[in-house]
């Protein structure tokens, strides 16, 4: 039974690995620069589980105490999140206002404070929303 659960989880993880890197629902993927992917401690300010773009808004504070307000979109839509077990309620509970997380994201090519969120981890290291591992762009240094 345990093997089956692990296998199912691995399979779904692979689904993300294969699909989440493929396409934004309106081609938005192309707006972001994965060669500049960063990982940062963040605080959730808002989470929207809406079709077709799930969105995470978060604050990142730098070493000097300056806060940057990020607006991020996720590649999977609600259908894909439901498929991996991340229902609206479960996702919303995991990403409530004020939750501390570790966010990996690719910023917009055009600059500014928008990003494509590639991975969200809880403080305990749990992969939230099963976004899976982040594939580095070809030839790029590891994100962290």
Closest residue by Cα to residue 54 from 86, 85, 32: 86
Q: Is 27 a binder of other proteins (CB under 8 A)?
A: yes
Stretch that binds other proteins, among 3-11, 60-68, 94-102, 124-132 (CB under 8 A): 3-11
Among 83, 102, 121, 127, binds other proteins (CB under 8 A): 83
Q: Give the footprint of other proteins on residues 31-60 (CB under 8 A).
A: 31-32, 50-53, 55
Q: Which residue has the tokens 């691995």?
A: 10
**What minimum distance in Å lies between the beta carbon of 104 and other proteins?**
17
């Amino acid at each position: 039974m345990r093997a089956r659960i692990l296998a199912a989880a691995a399979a779904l993880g692979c689904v993300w690995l294969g699909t989440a890197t493929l396409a934004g629902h309106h081609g938005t993927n192309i707006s972001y620069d994965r060669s500049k992917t960063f990982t940062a401690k963040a605080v959730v300010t808002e989470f929207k589980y809406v079709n077709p773009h799930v969105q995470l808004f978060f604050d990142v504070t730098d070493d000097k105490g300056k806060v940057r307000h990020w607006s991020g979109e996720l590649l999977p839509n609600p259908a894909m999140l439901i498929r991996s077990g991340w229902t609206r309620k479960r996702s919303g509970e995991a990403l409530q206002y004020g939750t501390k997380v570790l966010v990996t994201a690719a910023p917009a090519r055009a600059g500014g404070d928008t990003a494509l969120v590639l991975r969200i981890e809880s403080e305990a290291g749990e992969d939230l929303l099963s976004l899976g591992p982040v594939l580095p762009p070809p030839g790029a240094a590891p994100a962290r």
